[in-house]
């Protein structure tokens, strides 16, 4: 089938595309800025059409010859008049889709409350669905908070739980909502292509409260149970500001996220079960386990901030739920030769100019019962997954481009060091990233206390790699 995906740079769209390709569909993507989809794993397998739903004349080429189209767009980051933009965008797209005789639009919207006031965001999501459905047969799949690595709801829960062992919380944390695992949402979005179905279908797994979300998260992460002191106030505006302060989620996004949790929004799963009986929605706990596994493996496909313009307001040192320190360097050596230098780190060769600092850290570690630095390595050149290199454990090796080491030091958190090598012109570029997932405030304090030392230590590590790469004989990578 010929499928159009809008919102391809977004959290959901970016994950749906490879699944559509795997299922054998021909995929066209509508993007405002084609440069934003370059170098995605799927970029050269899709047709990229530049367009903006607020510019109606740009939509005809995108819609021409398409069988079904996914509408995965919202304007929440565009400012206070986002509802007007949502409405205009949906109207323009619906008109273009109708003119191109697209058989159906699949729109991912938001579960609506049964009664009472709905927030401006939820109102706009509903209106978007109605505008599309008025012009073209539309299947509106409605979701609550999507849980997956890098999703906004997951990141909000993750940061609050990791960073705050004690929380004074408003009463909405005991309101049940219906989350859905990103895997389940994607399965249904994909399966829906072959179902003769229009109208509204709510998605989700069993309901949970935000308090339960945080408790489950801390259980899965092995954190000490968080103390929660509920207050009788609701104060969503204040809570959203607090979320903006403690987590990298911006206020634009925190406000609708919090508002979406202030009243029970559960939807009705009967239609989902009737039309997608083979899909068993993943429970919240499993979604958290999978999200954490993805983060740990450095395999986050898309993130909530992916669709935000460059320069968006999240900390560069705070990505995918972890503190990161990244340094890169271009070398005149081939990727294979740079890899030679990387795979020989540690052991007798040491860790660069600051060997005394690594040793001091190792002694401290031994003093508190950790393995220390002196474990060496099995082979000076060969490196295999699961092996030890001094105080690191090798988690992944993909010669000549990727090495992931996990620290086995005693730490108030978990730490990794990752090396990525790619070709750059006639030479190579190496990107070295230190990750730290702090356990509570103690972990954060530890990281920031060591931050001034990290900068020269990690720079020295790159110096060492550069020296070795320039010296190393070219050898076949193992």
Ligand X SMILES: NC(=O)c1ccc[n+]([C@@H]2O[C@H](COP(=O)([O-])OP(=O)(O)OC[C@H]3O[C@@H](n4cnc5c(N)ncnc54)[C@H](OP(=O)(O)O)[C@@H]3O)[C@@H](O)[C@H]2O)c1
- Taking CB under 6 A as the rule, does residue 181 contact ligand X? no
Which residue, 7 or 248, is less far from ligand X as judged by CB? 7
Residue from 10, 267, 321, 399 binding ligand X (CB under 6 A) = 10
62, 66, 146, 188: which one contacts ligand X (CB under 6 A)? 146
The piece of 60-68, 141-149, 315-323, 326-334 that touches ligand X (CB under 6 A) is 141-149
Nearer to ligand X, 11 or 419 (CB): 11
Partnered with residue 77 across adjacent β-strands are none
The end-to-end CA distance of the chain, in Å, is 42
Place of tokens 């003769």: 196
Q: How far is the CB of 428 from ligand X (least distance, A)?
A: 30
CA atoms of 211 and 340, how far apart (whole Å):
49
Q: Does position 247 bind ligand X by CB under 6 A? A: no
Question: What residue ranges in 32-67 does DSSP mark as E strands?
Answer: 47-50
CB 87 within 8 A of CB 264: no
Using the minimum distance from each CB to ligand X, give the nearer residue, 10 or 440. 10
Whichever of 143 and 469 has its CB closer to ligand X, that residue is: 143
Write 289-292 long-range contacts (CB < 8 A, 24+): 289/220, 290/148, 290/149, 290/181, 290/183, 291/147, 291/148, 291/149, 291/150, 291/151, 291/154, 292/149, 292/220, 292/221
Interface size with ligand X, residues (CB under 6 A): 31
Decide: is 150 part of the binding site for ligand X (CB under 6 A).
Answer: no
Residue choice 3, 5, 12, 160 for contact with ligand X (CB under 6 A): 12
Residue keyed to tokens 């103690």: 442
Instruction: Confirm or reject binding of residue 179 to ligand X (CB under 6 A).
Output: no
Least distance to ligand X from the beta carbon of 119, Å? Answer: 12
Q: Residue 145 or 335: which CB sits closer to ligand X?
A: 145
Greatest alpha-carbon span in the chain: 73
CA-wise closest residue to 45 among 72, 67, 25: 25
Cα(80)–Cα(98) distance, integer angstroms: 29
Site string for ligand X, 206-245 (x = CB under 6 A): ----------------------------------------
Q: DSSP 3-state assignment of 292? A: helix
Residue in 42, 37, 38 with CA at minimum distance from that of residue 21: 42
Q: How far is the CB of 109 from ligand X (least distance, A)?
A: 6
Residue pair 400/339 in contact (Cβ under 8 Å)? The answer is yes
Contact 338, 421 (CB under 8 A): yes
* Given 9, 161, 250, 338, the residue binding ligand X (CB under 6 A): 9
Measured from the CB atom, the residue of 152 and 407 that comes closer to ligand X is 152
Min dist. Cβ of residue 177 to ligand X (A): 11
Q: Is 285 in the site for ligand X (CB under 6 A)?
A: no
The position carrying tokens 């607020």 is 54
Cβ atoms within 10 Å, residue 450: 14
Which whole-number Å values give the CA distances from 50 to 47, 59, 138, in the listed order? 10, 9, 23
- What is the nearest approach in angstroms of ligand X to the Cβ of residue 184? 12
- Show contacts with ligand X in window 388-447 (CB under 6 A): none
Binding part of the chain for ligand X, among 149-157, 227-235, 390-398, 410-418 by CB under 6 A, reads: 149-157
Shortest distance in whole angstroms from residue 173 CB to ligand X? 18
Q: CB-based contacts of 279: which residues, under 8 Å, 6+ apart?
A: 184, 187, 188, 191, 272
Is 119 among the residues that bind ligand X (CB under 6 A)? no
For ligand X, give the closer residue by CB, 161 or 428: 161
CA atoms of 347 and 373, how far apart (whole Å): 9
- On whether the CB atoms of residues 408 and 369 are closer than 8 A, the answer is no
Residue 125 or 285: the one with the smaller Cβ distance to ligand X is 125
Contacting ligand X within 55-74 (CB under 6 A): 72-74
**151 is an interface residue for ligand X by CB under 6 A:** yes
| Subset of 32-51 contacting ligand X (CB under 6 A) | 32-33, 36
Q: Are 400 and 420 in contact (CB under 8 A)?
A: no
- C-beta of 76 vs 397, nearer to ligand X: 76
Residue selected from 5, 11, 27, 140 as contacting ligand X according to rule CB under 6 A: 11
Look up tokens 């001094």; give the residue.
390
Closest distance of CB 84 from ligand X, Å:
12
**Residues 71-110 within binding reach of ligand X (CB under 6 A):** 72-75, 89, 108-110
Summarize as ranges the residues that interact with ligand X (CB under 6 A): 6-13, 32-33, 36, 52-54, 72-75, 89, 108-110, 125, 143, 145-146, 151-153, 306-307
């Amino acid at each position: 089938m010929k499928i159009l995906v809008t919102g391809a740079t977004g959290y959901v769209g970016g994950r749906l595309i490879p699944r559509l390709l795997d299922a054998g569909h021909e995929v066209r993507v509508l993007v405002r800025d084609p440069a934003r989809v370059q170098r995605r794993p799927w970029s050269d397998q899709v047709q990229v059409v530049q367009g903006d739903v607020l510019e109606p004349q740009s939509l005809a080429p995108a819609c021409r010859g398409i069988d079904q189209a996914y509408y995965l767009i919202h304007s929440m980051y565009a400012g206070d008049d986002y509802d007007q933009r949502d409405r205009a965008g949906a109207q323009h797209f619906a008109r273009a889709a109708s003119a191109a005789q697209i058989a159906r639009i699949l729109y991912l919207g938001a579960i609506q409350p049964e009664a009472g006031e709905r927030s401006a965001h939820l109102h706009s999501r509903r209106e978007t669905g109605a505008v599309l459905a008025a012009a073209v047969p539309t299947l509106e799949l409605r979701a609550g908070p999507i849980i997956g690595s890098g999703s906004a709801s997951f990141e909000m829960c993750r940061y609050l739980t990791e960073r705050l062992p004690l929380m004074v919380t408003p009463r909405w944390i005991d309101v049940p909502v219906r989350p859905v695992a990103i895997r389940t949402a994607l399965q249904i979005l994909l399966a829906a292509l072959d179902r003769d179905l229009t109208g509204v279908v709510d998605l989700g797994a069993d309901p949970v409260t935000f308090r339960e979300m945080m408790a489950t998260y801390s259980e899965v992460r092995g954190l000490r149970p968080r103390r929660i002191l509920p207050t009788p106030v609701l104060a969503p505006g204040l809570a959203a500001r607090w979320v903006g302060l403690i987590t990298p989620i911006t206020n634009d996004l925190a406000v609708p996220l919090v508002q979406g949790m202030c009243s029970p929004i559960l939807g009705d799963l009967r239609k989902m079960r009737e039309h997608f009986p083979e899909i068993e929605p993943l429970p919240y706990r499993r979604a958290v386990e999978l999200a954490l596994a993805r983060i740990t493996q450095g395999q986050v496909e898309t993130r909530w901030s992916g669709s935000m313009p460059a320069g968006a307001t999240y900390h560069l040192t705070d990505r995918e739920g972890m503190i990161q320190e990244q340094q890169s360097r271009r070398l005149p050596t081939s990727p294979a030769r740079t890899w030679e230098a990387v795979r020989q780190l540690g052991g007798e060769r040491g860790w660069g100019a600051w060997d005394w600092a690594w040793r001091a850290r190792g002694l401290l570690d031994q003093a508190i019962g950790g393995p220390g630095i002196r474990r060496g390595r099995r082979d000076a050149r060969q490196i295999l997954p699961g092996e030890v290199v001094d105080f690191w454990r090798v988690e992944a090796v993909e010669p000549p481009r990727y090495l992931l080491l996990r620290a086995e030091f005693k730490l108030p958190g978990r730490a990794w060091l990752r090396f990525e090598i790619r070709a750059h012109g006639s030479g190579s570029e190496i990107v070295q990233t230190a990750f730290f997932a702090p356990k509570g405030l103690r972990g954060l304090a530890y990281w920031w206390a060591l931050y001034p030392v990290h900068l020269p230590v990690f720079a020295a590590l790159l110096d060492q790699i550069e020296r070795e790469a320039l010296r190393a004989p070219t050898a076949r990578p193992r």
